[in-house]
Chains A and B, each alone.
Chain A
Amino acid sequence: MLLKLSLSSMRKMMKDYLVLLVGLVISISIFYMFQTLALNSDYTKNNSMISSIQIVFNVGAFLLAFITIFYIFYANSFLLSLRRKELGMYMVLGAKKGKISQILFLETLTMGIISLVIGSLVGIALASGIGVLLMNLLEISTDGYYPFYLPAVWMTWGFFLILFIITSTINATRLARATELALIRAEQQNDQIKSKGIGAVLVAILGVILLALGYTCLHLIMYLQALGFIVGAISCTIGTYLIFISLLPVLVQALKKNKKLNDSKLNAFTFAQLRFRVNNLTKILGTVAMLIGLGVGAMAGGLAFQQNVNLFTSVFHVYDVNLHDPVEADYEALKKMNVLEQNTYRYKVDDKAYYYLKEDLLANPLLISTNSTQNYSADNKPKLVTDPLPKETYIISASKEDNGKYDAVPEDWDKAISANFINYQMIEGKSVLVVDQATYEKTAGSEHKVLLAQVDDYLKYTQELKAMDERQKQMIGSIANVEVKDVYTSSKYSTYAGMYIFTSGTMFMGFFLGIAFLAMMASCLMFKILSGASRDKDRYSMLRKIGVRQSLLVGSIYKELFMVFIFPAIIGLMHVLLGMEMFSFILLDPYLNIWIPTLIFVVIYAIYYYITVQLYRGIVLPKEA
């Protein structure tokens, strides 16, 4: 009988449970998708490129798990609070507490299992859709990647089942400790009207100061290092909470003090509701602001890293093509490209050293990048190396025997030659020398050449460049006697590809993590608002009685909740915009395309805002006759 009752009441609160379910499904499915990548070591082993992402996804899964724990606890205690009265009534009617606890336990667990089933299915769909799409985007073979991967399923189920069992137990024990009367009277509490005085203003000022300090620390993170990050993060967090505790109530109070505004239409009521909310929701609003910051930050950070790859690559590489002993296929490929400049430099190799011909270098001096990651500007154009090379022999890289035998090459030349000619796997510890024509001719050993070229836009030719890189790897592999997959080339393309995969993985994870964060946070806010809705019911019914138009009431709801939603959004986005500065020491332009994550956030948040308004409206206002 009791089970029947509980089922029917769950059905009544379908909407609330649905919101919880959606949050859980999002979390579970993303967790699962991360796990398919994080756990499938066979796959990552065969794709050396992707193994660097594996750690990213492990970190992502951990973060997600962490936040999900909070979410589940929060959401469950909300649902419990919704049903306290009903459960208390059962007890008054003589139902045993143990029995009710048992039912509650089963309910929570059932809910968890349902969300696990749906979540796993959605996760598999996500993995086979988006996961495979990612692989294709990164041009990584999907052989060995399974959207349906049993260890990931076990991991997901194991982790979440334990989580659900823990929360169910906590729910049940929490109920068991409450008395019947406390349960029934759960809702009958009046709003405390706390007056905010000068103290609040001081706290608000302190909050603003802490925020400013935090931002400054993040801004100066290059000098302050880890300390800056820790101080920045802590003072930003505390500052955020202080602002929500003090500044916001003071602001709303100021709105109310404006007599003209307050006396117009329903404003007095709207502001009063708002004041109550900002006073009661300080903690959750602060948390939401922080998590919006983290969520959007994860997305923006991931995106920024990915978008900066191209900039990065051009900092390190001036030449788009860099080939040792180009073959026919390489020339064919070059013909397809729009080559701006192309030069060939000769060298000889014997068993002791690499000898580069000085005259070739002087005939076509090399370009070097004038940018660095610390000091990047698009205006810093590459410069030609013009230092004269009067001596017979210079050394760039010395073997043990040659140490100290020759003069070092001038710095710019060293930079140019190291960046473009030397592959340390290839030279196998031999010296690298620059010699004049006479010495060059005297040197026995095989002659080779290296080709450098600049093209109009190397991103147009990634296919050809990739093929060239493969051929270079084959060649270097045979010289150095290493397996091809362990060969690293120093071409622009390989730098680009390596970073691109890593950063795309980061971006991909950042996006999903961000979305999961946002969805869970927005639903927390929503739960919190809805949990107070039944108390507001009387207020709205009274307003209707004295003749407030339905449209005005609905308008008031929209306005009030908009304010509640907008405050954490503003602070959270401010955190992102100012906090991204922190990446400027590793990223050339942390703000590249930041509008994309911002837009995603706004859309998700707006959807939750709309749903909250509709659900709230459904609770406090009867259907229009």
Chain B
Amino acid sequence: MSTAVLEVKDVQKIYGTKGESQSHALKGVSMTIDKGEFVGIMGPSGSGKTTLLNVISTLDRPTEGFIEIAGTNITQMKNNQLADFRSQKLGFIFQDFNLLENLSVYENIALPLSLQGVPSKEISNKVSKVAQTLGIEEILQKYPVQISGGQKQRAAAARALVHDPAILLADEPTGALDSKNAKSLLETMTDLNENHQVSIMMVTHDAFSASYCKRILFIQDGKLYTEIQRTGDRQQFFKQILDVLAELGASHDVR
């Protein structure tokens, strides 16, 4: 039995103050991700998947409910604790890379370690190791403007992984990539998951990207709609996903 790396229980998120026009972005979501899983979160626009990611990534606080990551309850933490927690336990990949363009790739990757006060020599070792895993050793001294989109996303992934986070949170990581680079990145993520035991949670609305996951949670209107598990090969899973999406779309129309 594998252990849970992420546990979300009855999480609600309400925007706006009482009495005024409130919007319920999350209406009681519960889910668990086990160590070494590659989980996708899908759902139409406005379903609450970004909000879910934000509360899990501690960038936003849930109004109600309980979130535990790697055995730590994050809902009661203070701002500084949250910042430290993010820098130590979480790795992020964003759609728009979010690399600091005034730092070299090396410095970008090294940043999370620098923040934790890791000695310079150790930083150097760790950065080259993760760069090797992601195949970006050649561009470490370059600046983000000098490299391609695919390389940028790999650099971002390297930065997300360099400090061995408990879980890698990816927000539409292929959104700004062309299909070739997207495919390559997804394969890399699969490799990280399978061969380096990295737990991944990926939010996406792209069925092709999602088909690389092992399990997919579908969210609609702030609630968990359904969940599917990959059993066969990727092609088959892809079709399965499309079916659920069609179902989701249909339920939309009926309402």
**Chain A binding surface, main DSSP class:** helix
Q: Mark B99-124, 1 if CB is under 8 A from A, else 0.
A: 01111000100111111011110011
Contacts of A544 in B (CB 8 A): 59, 83
Contacts of A551 in B (CB 8 A): 80
Contact of B98 among A190, A269, A273, A545 (CB under 8 A): A545
Known: A264-B114, A546-B159, A547-B85. A269 touches B80 (CB 8 A): no
Contacts of A268 in B (CB 8 A): 103, 107, 110-111, 114
Contacts of A266 in B (CB 8 A): 111, 114-115
Q: How far is the CB of B56 from chain A (nearest CB, A)?
A: 13
User: CB distance B112 to A269 under 8 Å?
Assistant: no
Q: Quick check: is B88 within 8 A (CB to CB) of the other chain? A: yes
Q: How far is the CB of A72 from chain B (nearest CB, A)?
A: 32
Contact of B88 among A262, A264, A543, A547 (CB under 8 A): A547
Task: Provide the bound-state CA to CA distance between A193 and B107, in Å.
Answer: 14
Contacts of B107 in A (CB 8 A): 262, 268-269, 272
Q: Quick check: is A549 within 8 A (CB to CB) of the other chain? A: yes
Contacts of B243 in A (CB 8 A): none
User: CB distance B79 to A272 under 8 Å?
Assistant: no
Q: Quick check: is B131 within 8 A (CB to CB) of the other chain? A: no
User: CB distance A259 to B100 under 8 Å?
Assistant: no
Q: Which residue of B is nearest A544, CB measured?
A: B83
Q: Which residue of A is nearest B54, CB measured?
A: A545
Task: Provide the bound-state CA to CA distance between A546 and B80, in Å.
Answer: 13
Q: Quick check: is B208 within 8 A (CB to CB) of the other chain? A: no
Q: Mark A529-543, 1 if CB is under 8 A from B, else 0.
A: 000000000110011
Task: Provide the bound-state CA to CA distance between A547 and B165, in Å.
Answer: 12
Contacts of B113 in A (CB 8 A): 263
Q: Quick check: is B145 within 8 A (CB to CB) of the other chain? A: yes
Task: Provide the bound-state CA to CA distance between A273 and B198, in Å.
Answer: 33
Q: Quick check: is A548 within 8 A (CB to CB) of the other chain? A: yes
Using a CB-CB cutoff of 8 Å, which residues 231-281 of chain A contact chain B? 259-260, 262-269, 272-273, 275-276
Contact of A552 among B98, B112, B115, B143 (CB under 8 A): B115
Q: Quick check: is B47 within 8 A (CB to CB) of the other chain? A: no
Q: Which residue of B is nearest A268, CB measured?
A: B107
Task: Provide the bound-state CA to CA distance between A543 and B79, in Å.
Answer: 14
Q: How far is the CB of B246 from chain A (nearest CB, A)?
A: 34
Q: Quick check: is B92 within 8 A (CB to CB) of the other chain? A: yes
User: CB distance A265 to B110 under 8 Å?
Assistant: no
Using a CB-CB cutoff of 8 Å, which residues 52-89 of chain B contact chain A? 57, 59, 61, 79-80, 82-88
Task: Provide the bound-state CA to CA distance between A370 and B92, in Å.
Answer: 81
Contacts of B94 in A (CB 8 A): 545
Task: Provide the bound-state CA to CA distance between A551 and B145, in Å.
Answer: 29
Task: Provide the bound-state CA to CA distance between A539 and B100, in Å.
Answer: 6
Q: How far is the CB of A57 from chain B (nearest CB, A)?
A: 48
User: CB distance B87 to A539 under 8 Å?
Assistant: no
User: CB distance A263 to B87 under 8 Å?
Assistant: no
User: CB distance B112 to A550 under 8 Å?
Assistant: no
Contacts of A332 in B (CB 8 A): none
User: CB distance B115 to A548 under 8 Å?
Assistant: yes
Q: How far is the CB of B159 from chain A (nearest CB, A)?
A: 7
User: CB distance A545 to B86 under 8 Å?
Assistant: yes
Q: Mark B157-174, 1 if CB is under 8 A from A, else 0.
A: 001000000000000000
Contacts of A190 in B (CB 8 A): 101, 145
Contacts of B159 in A (CB 8 A): 546
Q: Which has the most chain B C-beta neighbours within 10 Å: A268, A272, A539, A625?
A: A268
Contacts of A269 in B (CB 8 A): 100, 102-103, 107, 111
Q: Quick check: is B39 within 8 A (CB to CB) of the other chain? A: no
Contacts of B90 in A (CB 8 A): 547
Task: Provide the bound-state CA to CA distance between A556 and B85, in Å.
Answer: 20
Q: Quick check: is A486 within 8 A (CB to CB) of the other chain? A: no
Q: Quick check: is A191 within 8 A (CB to CB) of the other chain? A: yes
Task: Provide the bound-state CA to CA distance between A624 and B159, in Å.
Answer: 26
18 sampled A-B residue pairs with Cβ under 8 A: A190-B145, A263-B119, A263-B120, A264-B114, A264-B117, A269-B102, A269-B111, A272-B100, A543-B100, A545-B59, A546-B92, A546-B112, A547-B84, A547-B90, A547-B112, A549-B79, A550-B80, A625-B79
User: Told that A269-B103, A272-B102 touch, could you supply 12 new A-B pairs with CB distance under 8 A?
Assistant: A259-B120, A265-B114, A268-B103, A269-B100, A542-B98, A546-B92, A547-B84, A547-B85, A547-B86, A549-B80, A550-B80, A552-B115
Chain A to chain B: the 8 pairs with minimum beta-carbon distance, closest first: A547-B86, A547-B87, A263-B120, A272-B102, A549-B83, A268-B107, A542-B98, A260-B120
